[in-house]
Structure 1
Amino acid sequence: MGVESKVFTYSDVSAHKTSDDCWVIINGKVYNVTSYLDEHPGGDEVILGQAGNDASQEFEDVGHGSAARLMLDEFYVGEVDSTTKVEVVDSPPVVAKDSGVKPEESTKFLHFLLSLGILGLALGVLLFNFSR
């Protein structure tokens, strides 16, 4: 992150919600994640579902580790002015066009990957302790 930080309104960020121009807010910081969509392990539809919005809760709920948090620096574009937030009621989620994947399927897949990672870590610890 640079010394000088650009400040965006929530409205500024909400204009960037397509697969060709995708910004998200995570913990008060604005990230342009357009170039990362194809690389995201959970698929682009997970990010596109939060495009142009505050994705802090979803980012935290998935349990991203330190590597993912460090990776965010690469996509940082500025800060969000928290005083510009407008509460929207009954706003439908944005899903990638023609993705063929329902949001609940993505969540199940992410839970599967997280479980698999935890099992792998447990097995690694077990094998390490056994080899001593």
Structure 2
Amino acid sequence: MTAGSSSMESVRFWWGIIVAKTMGDEAKIFTLSQVSEHNQAHDCWIVINGKVYDVTKFLEDHPGGDEVLLSSTGKDATDDFEDVGHSESAREMMEQYCVGEIDPTTIPKKTKYTPPKQPHYNQDKTSEFIIKILQFLVPLAILGLAVGIRIYTKSA
């Protein structure tokens, strides 16, 4: 630890969970797989903004229903939470359900969707192709029309 980087007094490893002692409080660090095990109505944990929340007691009181919270287990639910636009009082209420923090190295990196490269549609080349075909077909059509008129006038 560098000076001034954190107020941590000690860090120890205990039964697969890193426990950090910070100013007398024990802050637990959980992996995403550990949090994912808590995905039932009787035991529901979610991850929002790097913190782990045990929302089991809040499931019945959640305005969006318990399914909203249950569907957010086993992943980083920060985007789901932010998309809804929760009030400041809802954010303050969350603190009573906080049980620790998530180990950020266990959360999969978000990959940005990149559409596959497609050949660039060149409108200039398309119009050039049409002009070349017309340069061939128009004189051919005129020639065909002239031959048709000649044959028609000869027979009459």
Higher strand share: 2
Following TM superposition, by how much is the alpha carbon of 1:5 offset from its aligned partner in structure 2, in angstroms? 0.8
Given the alignment of the two structures, is residue 78 of structure 1 paired with residue 100 of structure 2, yes or no?
yes
Q: 1:57 is matched with which residue: 79, 84, 100? A: 79
Q: Which has the higher helix share?
A: 1
Distance 2:25 2:71 in 1: 31
TM superposition score normalised by structure 1:
0.62
Which 5+ residue runs of structure 1 have no aligned equivalent? 89-132
Per-residue displacement from partner, 1:50-98 (whole Å, max 9, x unpaired)? 123211000000000110100111100000000112469xxxxxxxxxx
- Of the three residues 32, 48, 56, the one matched with 1:26 is 48
What residue in structure 2 maps to residue 40 of structure 1? 62
TM-score, normalising length from structure 2? 0.53
CA RMSD in angstroms, aligned pairs only: 1.9
For 2:92 and 2:72, locate their aligned partners in 1 and report how far apart those are by CA, in whole Å.
20
Q: Which runs of no fewer than 5 residues in structure 2 stay unpaired?
A: 1-23, 111-156
Distance 1:14 1:67 in 2: 27
Structure 2 residue aligned with 1:5? 27
**What amino acid does structure 2 have at the position aligned with 1:58?**
D
How many corresponding residue pairs?
88
Q: Answer 1 or 2: higher relative contact order, Cα 8 Å, separation at least 6.
A: 1
Matched residue, 1:68: 90
Q: CA deviation at 1:49?
A: 0.8
Identity among equivalent pairs (%): 54
CA distance in 1: counterparts of 2:109 and 2:35, whole angstroms: 15
SS of 2:57's partner is helix
- Which of the pair has more CA radius of gyration? 2
The reply on whether 1:16 has 2:38 as its aligned counterpart is yes
